Amino acid sequence: MKMTPRFALDTLFLAGGVFLMVSSFAFSSVSAGHLAFAVATGLTVVAGLSAILARQVGWKVGHGIVAVAGLWSLIAALTFSGTALTWLVFADAAALAAVALADLAAHEVTTERVVHELVVKNSPVEVGTGSTRQAA
């Protein structure tokens, strides 16, 4: 089975958000702020480019929202300090992870995804009778 780019990117965004959530309390507020700046910059650039280059509306919207959440996280990491920075890094990372998870769920329930996964095979069972027949 082939992994779609949207699935891979959403998984990357989710992993980045979870990493920042953990690092917000594992490191000092200064270190967490630097990590949040670096990770949010990378995720914002990737999500923004993905939203610009995508052809499907759902993909554009989902990754556009991730880019906006990453941009806010980037701004907060530069603006705040101390305890406020620790909690903002945590909250922004949680929001980033939630948006990525929502976009991942939206990707998995789309009609296109279902159609790509649907495989039609000749069945040896006749419909309604339960008996088997030999394929010619």
Residue range 43-94, pLDDT digits in tens: 999 999 999 998 888 888 988 999 999 999 989 999 999 999 999 999 999 9
Q: How far apart are the first and last CA of the chain?
A: 29
Contact 52, 33 (CB under 8 A): no
* Mean pLDDT confidence for 97-115: 78
Judged by DSSP in three states, 43 sits in helix
Please state the pTM of the whole predicted model. Answer: 0.75
Report the distance separating Cα 88 and Cα 24, nearest Å. 9
- How far does CA 24 lie from the centroid of its chain? 20
Q: How confident is the model at residue 116 (pLDDT cuts 50, 70, 90)?
A: low
On the question of pLDDT at 128 being above 80, the answer is: no
Structure confidence at residue 115 (pLDDT): 60
Contact 45, 4 (CB under 8 A): no
Report the distance separating Cα 43 and Cα 66, nearest Å. 8
Structure confidence at residue 67 (pLDDT): 92
Average model confidence (pLDDT) for the chain?
Answer: 84
On the question of pLDDT at 2 being above 80, the answer is: no
Query: Domain segments of the chain: what residues?
Result: 5-115
